[in-house]
Chains A and B, each alone.
Chain A
Amino acid sequence: MNAPGLAGAGRVKADGPLKVAVPRGSLLGGTLDILDAVGIDTAAVRGESRALIFPGEDVTLVTMRPSDVPTYVEAGAADVGFTGKDVLLEQSDRVVYELLDLGYGRCRMVLAGRRGDTKLGEAERRLGMMRIATKYPRIAERHFEGTGRQVEVIEVKGSVELAPLIGLGEGIVDLVATGRTLEENDLEVREEIVECTARFVANRVAHKLRAAEVDDLTAKLREASGQ
């Protein structure tokens, strides 16, 4: 069981519209499309507004970084939300209910190295370990641990493709949609770690106490996603 949170953390107002966490960035389009498909008005979010919160009659849409979605949903600040499986895997200690695989936002978490470069294999053979730069340190650590290899994981925040090009590590673990960024930077996929898609998640208490609303939305999303 999880250790309890700070006394003040995670206050939810139970009444009023369901609060839905919507990820900005690459998942935004797919998320708004599926919300439209289940009859939730997203015109305001699609507009030019810089607002973060878009109140509606039955649901309030709250926009945020995809990696913040599990944080808000776990605390109950949002009742349900959309985010990528990559985010959920990286934050696997967050207690959120993963209700649906929505199918869109498909991409792959991969291990990549410089094209034609033998450094990755060489480092493993000679030194017994590799240095891997990534924005997903926990996914990377788990992957190499699970395949019995030792690595030094180096966490970076920005463009991770840069790292092996100028000598920070021999390879990278990163999310790849089309593979173009890798290609343009002279990198190639060496191993596929996991395939990631958008997921629908719920706060544990909201799932119990707003069961009818959550179930209804889940059923509609399931149908709309065709999964």
Chain B
Amino acid sequence: MIHPIPPGTRDVLPDEMRELRKLHLALIEVFEGFGYGEVATPAIEYDEVLARGDGRAAKSGYKFFDESGDLLALRSEMTVPIARLVSTRFADTEGPLRLCYLANAFRAVRPQRGQMREFAQVGVELIGAPAPEGTVEVIEVLGAALDAAGLDRAVIGLGDADLYRQLLTELGVEGERRDSILERLATHDLVGLETELSEVVSDRDCETCVALSQLRGGPEVLEQARGLGGAAVGRATQRIGETYEALAARGAADRVQIDLGLLRDLGYYSGAILEVYDPALGHVLGGGGRYDALMKRFGLDLPAAGFALYMERVHVAQMEEGQP
């Protein structure tokens, strides 16, 4: 008899499970080696608590009432639940806190798009370590995780979430228009970006913004960006430059691609943002960055950074690269 399961969910059979388990253990071993302790949190939380993190980022696709009428939600990622856990359980802990996880998260999907409702994320959160050292550590751990997964060709994109926010403020673009332009940048709609910018700034500033969003590569792109000018660009390239140099000094910059066009649509990011690609896969493997303002929403004013990888995608990339 055929009993269906909801679209966007799936069973895992023994062969794949064995490989996923191996990958999981290898990654957790890397994280433990860097001093990150594994934690688990409930898949369901109070909606109110998740929404405190960030309305947009932690927006849950699935909410329901429990028997006493409280609104519960299925988590859509792990950063907000861990922020909740840290502020509740580790509020008095001295020094940076290092946590890692492998957890299933849930998102609403559009039908017939091949998207997953339920998916596994594996990642780390480093709480209490500021930029650039904290960022450098997180990228180093991410690089080691990709090594452990055998993804030698994987690339870590490094950008800055504040670059365009500050640049647009500097150009006097505010309010709805600013949000709309940031949205164009996040989706990389260059045609729309040019059109909108040309309505509010000079041709030269418009060209600068568009050119900036196309700069990606080695440290030389920082030089090119500085050539385009502006205080916001100066500050962002300095932040990225410090991080990159510290990574290079630790021999961890090889797979890092500086990308001034990187903008993630999760609202809580500030400063460094990360994305992970592998040539064997057309989708991003994961991402992360700094979220220095997030912990404050849970009552602990601490800088923080982290990343999450989509477990299934890392596994597919592994198979495509021929190293299951």
| Chain A residues near B (Cβ < 8 Å) | 1-15, 74-77, 93, 95, 97-101, 199, 203-209, 211, 215
Contacts and interface: CB of A to CB of B under 8 A. Distances in A.
Given A208-B157, A211-B217, A5 B283 contact: yes
Contacts of B280: 11-14
Interface string B258-272: 010000111000000
B312 A12 contact: no
B108 A7 contact: no
Contact of A101 (B57, B191, B320): B191
A7 B318 CA distance: 12
Contacts of B57: 1
B178 to A, nearest CB: 20
Contact of A204 (B117, B119, B191, B284): B284
Interface in B222-247: none
Contacts of B217: 211
Among B8, B114, B155, B283, the most chain A Cβ lie within 10 Å of the Cβ of B283
Contact of B283 (A10, A13, A97, A211): A10
Contact of B281 (A1, A2, A97, A205): A205
Contacts of A77: 282
B108 A3 contact: yes
Interface string B87-117: 0000000000000000000011110011111
B191 A199 contact: yes
Contacts, number: 110
A3 B115 contact: yes
Lowest 8 A-B CB distances belong to which pairs?
A: A76-B282, A14-B279, A10-B282, A97-B188, A7-B312, A3-B107, A3-B115, A12-B282
Nearest to B277: A205
Contacts of A204: 188, 282-284
B188 A10 contact: no
Contact of B188 (A15, A93, A207): A207
B153 interface: yes
29 contacts: A2-B115, A3-B8, A4-B115, A4-B119, A4-B312, A4-B313, A5-B113, A5-B115, A7-B312, A10-B281, A11-B280, A12-B280, A12-B282, A14-B153, A75-B282, A75-B283, A76-B283, A93-B113, A95-B187, A97-B190, A98-B191, A204-B284, A205-B279, A205-B281, A205-B282, A205-B283, A208-B257, A208-B277, A209-B277
A204 B108 CA distance: 22
A4 B257 contact: no
Nearest to B314: A7
B284 to A, nearest CB: 7
A208 B259 contact: yes
Interface residues of B, number: 46
B21 to A, nearest CB: 15
Given A99-B190, A208-B259, A3 B283 contact: no
A4 B110 contact: no
A7 B316 contact: yes
A4 B281 contact: no
B117 A203 contact: no
B107 to A, nearest CB: 4
B155 A5 contact: no
Contacts of B117: 3
Nearest to A203: B282
A209 B312 CA distance: 21
A3 B187 contact: no
A207 B279 CA distance: 11
B188 A4 contact: no
Contact of A208 (B110, B190, B192, B216): B216
A6 B287 CA distance: 18
A206 B155 contact: no
A9 B114 contact: yes
A6 B8 CA distance: 8
Nearest to A6: B114
Contacts of B277: 205, 208-209
B316 A3 contact: no
